[in-house]
Amino acid sequence: MVNYGLLSQKNEPVPLKSISVEVRVQDHVATVSSTLQYVNEEERPLEALFVFPLPADAAVCHFSAKIGEQEIVAEVQERETARDRYDDAVSSGQQAFLLEESEESPDVFRLSVGCLSPGQSAAVTIIYVTELAVQADHSLRFCLPAVLNPRYTPAGSAAGIVSEISSGCGSVPYTLTLSVHVSSPKPISKLESSCTLDPLVFLHSDHTQATVNLSPGHMFDKDVELFVYYQDTHQPSAIVEAGVTTAPSGSLMRDPVVMISLYPEFPEEVMSSLATQGEFVFVMDRSASMSNTRIESAKDTLLLLLKSLPMGCYFNIYGFGSRFEFFYPKSVKYNQDTMDQALRRVKEMQADLGGTKILQPLKHIYSQPCYPDHPRQLFIFTDGEVKNTKEVLDLVKHHAHSHRCFSFGIGEGASTALITGMAREGSGHAQFITGTNRMQPKVMQSLRFALQPAVVNISVDWTLPDGITVDTLSPPINVLYQGQRSLIYGHLKGESSGGSEGTVTVKYSLKDQPVTNQLHFCLKPTEETGLAVHRLAARTLIRSLEQEERSGDRVVFGIWSSIMDKMKSRIVELSVQAGVSSVHTAFIAINKDSRQTVKGPLLQRRVPTYAPIPVPHSASDCWLSDEDYDYESPDIFDDGDYNDYDYESPADVYSDEERDVISKTEAVLFCQTESVGEKRAAPDPQKDLLLQLVSLQKASGCWELDATLADVFGKTEDELTNQKPAQVDGSVWATLLALIWLYGCKIEQQVEWQFVAMKAASWIGSQKVGDLSQCVCVGNVLLGCQVTKETLGI
């Protein structure tokens, strides 16, 4: 087991003893207060370092330390100034605390606790606010990240906070307590969690407030997920929050801020027909951390996706690790032959490509020309452990005009910044698959979004009383999906001359049809919101400015240098005024009453964050490049840090202009890799009956009447054939039986097979068969089901 960061030579006691978390959920926003209890159990002053994850879009807004009865509240300062003050304080024997965000990834923070005396304890409190993501079933997801996996760092890149991440084995040596309070104008239906909860307690008879606690004994060895269900949660809403009277006049924190939650409703006639065109590119993480059950689940998911694609579209499949491979030099047309070829290759896929290097395959995909009239849809599957997150997000944003990006975080510790960021910048949708969750339902929900008609010409207009204006702080809306929320933050300025209501109007075009959605809202500030909306609005604006700054960094010369300096100053000013974190600021707290003699350097201790790493069982299970592996002696590996090696594929070392020349060579190399994969592949696990049925479907949507299909139904081929009505042929009868079985026996998994069934029903309709009512009756009797012809959609 390899550890990273600042470590002693001895296995000393860890100073972090407990984490206590209080969560207040108010409608769509959560305020989270985490208190970390440190104790110095050593015989001399100690500096403790704790690298930990937070939700990617969280706005850290408070940081304090309590030593005995004395509380020291941190202030936000420019980053280098805060670091200098921390170093000066620690070197002079003063207790100091520094909290800073990673420059590489906004979901990773480092907490430095400096100059704790022997036997002394300190309680550090961090408060942040975050938006709650809406799930496909309309629940709101809150995640308390526990797992922080080592992030793959490309060779030659600068070391940052993420390079200090520890990898540990087993449970962490500190405990977690968690209490949750939920309040909303809408009644609360229920709360669910990936962890064991105590019973939900409603505080009012109208069920608008409730509390729940995490059951005792939780080891904090996995992310804690909570799903909040409200009644009518998909209704649009608005929160107007009052500002702070002591803030500078005209500033964001002084004036009211409005947060609009929109749920566009598409016309039913438009939604009844999904797209039949598109280029679908599936990008699968095949690094060693995807081994065993993860890669098998991914292969099952690719099977469902390939079977669900519409005839005539285009598709391709990429695999990436420390290098990348693809099935075809460019996307190919979807038909029976190409689908069969792809499925054979999917079956042979292994988690055998080393580290996690996602930037190069994305560059290769974006270098390929798009097909006219076939919008590119990118599906990216990864456990999300990369260091260059912001570089990846900038690349996706740069190509946002040419594609939509749907991202999936697999397993505990997937980077929320990477997964949600790729979806946001690529106008797609993000999903997280954790614990024992099945990957397939969430992926198929995203496929439904991808097949929805594209929304274009989106505009947002405000109608406000005379005397009031609004500055929209959120980036322009560039994507809308049926039933999915869009958040808009607005800075309200001025005084109303009498009106008390505002209106926000969203207009867009959908399949050449103009659509208008409107929301009327009261301008009177909502009570008991604190400053959560202001801080989230500030965080949204800061993120936009940081991205503009990174784009400008590539062309800094002449006047650009002055513009970039002004942009950095604006970020620092906004961060300090709002009291929220940014890449250019840090929280600093110093106990000026403490001072002790420091002889020699402080002991430095890393606090481990839970990071499960599978024990290698074979060459394909290790984070090693080909050059690390001795093929003559399979049990011998070169020593070294798996985060440091950097295997370059041809696509990494050649220029963009040279890639076209070598694309056919890469395709040959992939075929050669397949032959190696055949030697390494383990026997296929037993497929469930649904996947067996899906695997037998033809690209056109039909099934053949044979023994393998009969086996899925628990029948013999003769039993199916003998019951076949005379007026239909074998394929129509087989397809009809498959539909009856799906609706009659697997209705609870409909989200997984919905497109498979749609293709089947469409194919039956194209066969121009007469009345099928009698066939449905016979099929029901044969399979022991009770479904109607109308239910089957034929």
- Is 656's pLDDT higher than 70? no
User: Is 794 contained in some domain?
Assistant: no
What's the mean pLDDT in 520-535?
A: 87
User: Is 489 contained in some domain?
Assistant: yes
What's the mean pLDDT in 101-105?
A: 83
- Is 152's pLDDT higher than 90? no
Q: Report the alpha-carbon distance of residue 745 to residue 760 in Å, rounded.
A: 17
Of the listed ranges 243-247, 413-417, 457-461, 500-504, the one predicted with least confidence = 413-417
Q: What is the pLDDT of residue 80?
A: 94
- Six token digits for residue 350: 């292994």
- Is 8's pLDDT higher than 60? no
User: Could you read off the pLDDT of 572-625 as tens digits, one per residue?
Assistant: 999 999 999 999 999 999 987 766 544 445 555 555 554 443 333 333 333 333
Query: Higher pLDDT residue, 663 or 54?
Result: 54
Is residue 442 located within the same domain as residue 315? yes
**Which domain covers residue 365, as residue numbers?**
275-451+643-680
Q: What is the pLDDT of residue 611?
A: 45
Confidence class of residue 422 from pLDDT cuts 50, 70 and 90?
very high
User: Is 32 contained in some domain?
Assistant: yes
Is residue 198 located within the same domain as residue 265? no
Is residue 296 located within the same domain as residue 444? yes
Cα torsion 345, 347, 351, 353 to 10°: value is -10
User: Is 635 contained in some domain?
Assistant: no
- Is 366's pLDDT higher than 50? yes
Residue at 15: amino acid letter:
P
Query: Are 433 and 321 a contacting pair, CB within 8 Å?
Result: no
Is residue 63 located within the same domain as residue 208? yes
Is residue 225 located within the same domain as residue 285? no
What's the mean pLDDT in 180-198?
A: 89
Number of folded domains that form the chain:
4
Confidence class of residue 373 from pLDDT cuts 50, 70 and 90?
confident
Q: Which of 782, 791, 785, 727 is nearest to 761 (CA)?
A: 791
What's the mean pLDDT in 41-69?
A: 83
Q: What is the pLDDT of residue 739?
A: 96
- Is 653's pLDDT higher than 70? no
Query: Higher pLDDT residue, 120 or 153?
Result: 120
Is residue 311 located within the same domain as residue 445? yes
Confidence class of residue 172 from pLDDT cuts 50, 70 and 90?
low
Query: Higher pLDDT residue, 660 or 285?
Result: 285
Query: Higher pLDDT residue, 283 or 67?
Result: 283
User: Is 462 contained in some domain?
Assistant: yes
Query: Higher pLDDT residue, 794 or 540?
Result: 540
Of the listed ranges 24-28, 148-152, 295-299, 490-494, the one predicted with least confidence = 148-152
Q: What is the pLDDT of residue 36?
A: 86
Query: Are 109 and 99 a contacting pair, CB within 8 Å?
Result: yes
User: Is 129 contained in some domain?
Assistant: yes
What's the mean pLDDT in 345-364?
A: 90
User: Is 314 contained in some domain?
Assistant: yes
Is residue 560 located within the same domain as residue 662? no
Q: What are the residues whose beta carbons fall under 8 Å from the beta carbon of 474, sequence distance 6 or more?
A: 487, 488, 489, 540
What's the mean pLDDT in 33-48?
A: 82
Query: Higher pLDDT residue, 451 or 309?
Result: 309
Long-range Cβ contact pairs of 337-346 (< 8 A, separation 24 or more): 339/306, 339/307, 339/309, 339/699, 342/306, 342/315, 342/317, 343/303, 343/306, 343/695, 345/317, 345/674, 346/299, 346/302, 346/303, 346/306, 346/317
Is residue 203 located within the same domain as residue 71? yes
**Mean pLDDT score across all residues of the chain:** 79
Is residue 377 located within the same domain as residue 258? no
- Is 635's pLDDT higher than 80? no
Q: What is the pLDDT of residue 357?
A: 87
Query: Are 519 and 260 a contacting pair, CB within 8 Å?
Result: yes
Of the listed ranges 71-80, 385-394, 455-464, the one predicted with least confidence = 385-394
Confidence class of residue 173 from pLDDT cuts 50, 70 and 90?
low
Residue after which a domain boundary falls, among 571, 594, 619: 571
Is residue 403 located within the same domain as residue 528? no
Query: Higher pLDDT residue, 86 or 445?
Result: 86
- Six token digits for residue 41: 């159990």
What's the mean pLDDT in 680-684?
A: 35
Q: Which of 155, 158, 146, 36 is nearest to 97 (CA)?
A: 36
Q: What is the pLDDT of residue 560?
A: 57
Of the listed ranges 99-108, 358-367, 401-410, the one predicted with least confidence = 99-108
CATH code (residue 650): 3.40.50.410
Confidence class of residue 553 from pLDDT cuts 50, 70 and 90?
low
Residue after which a domain boundary falls, among 680, 704, 736: 680
Q: What is the pLDDT of residue 212?
A: 93
Residue after which a domain boundary falls, among 619, 652, 680: 680
Is residue 110 located within the same domain as residue 208? yes
Q: What is the pLDDT of residue 161?
A: 59
Q: What is the pLDDT of residue 761?
A: 92
Q: Report the alpha-carbon distance of residue 442 to residue 440 in Å, rounded.
A: 6
Confidence class of residue 641 from pLDDT cuts 50, 70 and 90?
very low
User: Is 790 contained in some domain?
Assistant: no
CATH code (residue 176): 2.60.40
Is residue 405 located within the same domain as residue 467? no
Query: Higher pLDDT residue, 525 or 412?
Result: 525
- Is 245's pLDDT higher than 70? yes
- Is 649's pLDDT higher than 60? no
Query: Higher pLDDT residue, 31 or 665?
Result: 31
Of the listed ranges 221-225, 267-271, 292-296, the one predicted with least confidence = 267-271
